[in-house]
Amino acid sequence: MITGYRHFVTLADSIQWDETAIDYTADRAAWPRLTETERTRVLGLLAGFCIAEFAVAGQLDAYRAAALDDSMEACFRAQARDEARHARFFDLVAADVAGVPGDTPAQRLDVLRDRAAPELVDLLEVRLPETARRLADDRQDLTSAVGLYHMVIEGVVLLAGQHAMLATLDGLSVALPGMHKGVELVLRDERWHIGFGSRIVQSADICPTEADAMLEQAETAAKVWGDLLTEDAIETAMRQHRRRLKAAGIKFW
């Protein structure tokens, strides 16, 4: 079977970046000058990303082990490298720009967890690891595991959050250019992750139950940001999700 995943690895190799090469000097100077409302909003989104990127970065081994061929396995490996960088980037911004206290990423994560909705924490720190564990036990379940990770968490939750973060940064009274740059680069990486996941779903035989699950999970997941995301942003994310599933050959309406 020609699965053609290799081009995602080539793409990933060509767009590598280094979170420590971004200049955060202006961000550090701007942070204290933001209004309280602005800081609260940026910190709320940042908390979600720190939790999400640490969580997803830790789960890809089960996906790699369940890969159907070498090219798919290489993609999961390239993706794990990206997710680890995303986790480092958001932690760096939390520590160096936003001044989140803690000596280690885990300690800062504990502080930030209080700012995230319990639904977001549950999705990323309970349901995703459970899915990865089931995948590790039974490698047959790859499609629904990719459905949760790539289509729902990355395609709906993280993509909508990244758009909300960029819109928030664009509207601040003082610019945070380093953070803006990094979020744009994260978004660029996530696009190929979602494209890769869509390709896996497209290549699989999806039963109606799996298709319904991908839609239902997304509807719940789209709300985990609480009031950090507008109704419009949630609707847009869901519309794109349905379009992506449809493009992957899934029909349920």
Instruction: By CB under 5 A, name the binding residues for Fe ion.
Output: 83, 86, 154, 190, 193
Smallest gap from residue 87 Cβ to Fe ion (A): 8
Smallest gap from residue 53 Cβ to Fe ion (A): 5
Tokens of 53: 């990127």
Smallest gap from residue 73 Cβ to Fe ion (A): 17
Our CB check for Fe ion shows the closer of 38 and 82 to be: 82
Our CB check for Fe ion shows the closer of 30 and 185 to be: 185
Our CB check for Fe ion shows the closer of 193 and 244 to be: 193
Amino acid identity for residue 190 in this structure: E
Quick one: 129 exposed, middle or buried, by C-beta within 10 A (0-12, 13-18, 19+)?
A: middle
Smallest gap from residue 14 Cβ to Fe ion (A): 17
Amino acid identity for residue 220 in this structure: T
**Whole-number Cα distances in Å, 49 to 13, 39, 80, 88, 115:** 23, 15, 16, 11, 11
Our CB check for Fe ion shows the closer of 8 and 31 to be: 8
Angle at 199 between CA 137 and CA 2, to 5 degrees: 90
**Whole-number Cα distances in Å, 228 to 12, 36, 116, 150, 238:** 30, 15, 10, 22, 16
Smallest gap from residue 149 Cβ to Fe ion (A): 8
Our CB check for Fe ion shows the closer of 34 and 245 to be: 245
